[in-house]
Structure 1
């Protein structure tokens, strides 16, 4: 006769579905937000929604002033950023007041003469 212990499948812990531990309470984000809003913690105590992230170590992305595409190039004369040769060709025919308008939208402080 066969032993009944040998017929049982071994328990595999990695096949169990995920479950929170019994001492862990699941709270949705809305509930956390409402709890923090109602508690009124001191101003110097950080909360879930007031934590500030450190500054990024990556350089800021630069976009074309004309099309909004990622711009690897800058015109040395007008200081406008452009993405391809077609934009550069169209920039050559722009009057200086339009160029100044693009630069002020971007926040560039130097004026083009």
Structure 2
């Protein structure tokens, strides 16, 4: 009786170990596939970044031919983007605690827009 239950326990452990081994193999395969995808994505991003730099230089050259200050346009756009980002972050912080966003929604709901 003792020997039979020991054999069953050993068989159960063996079955669990085999199942875990299969899971580890599957995880290794998934990791290998993900590494390949990450490498492909990295190559694509590098290629796109290079193309974007080329296009920027081309547009700046065209702007220069037309007496347009391309660098100033890019600087203004960067400032606008930074302002938009700061405003979005401020909105996220306001919505985070729920107190101000709930109040503004209830007070704005009954008001008519000025025309």
Higher RCO (CA 8 Å, separation ≥ 6 residues) = 1
Tell me which interval the TM-score lies in, with the shorter structure as reference length: under 0.3
Q: TM-score, normalised by structure 2?
A: 0.23
TM-score scaled by structure 1? 0.23
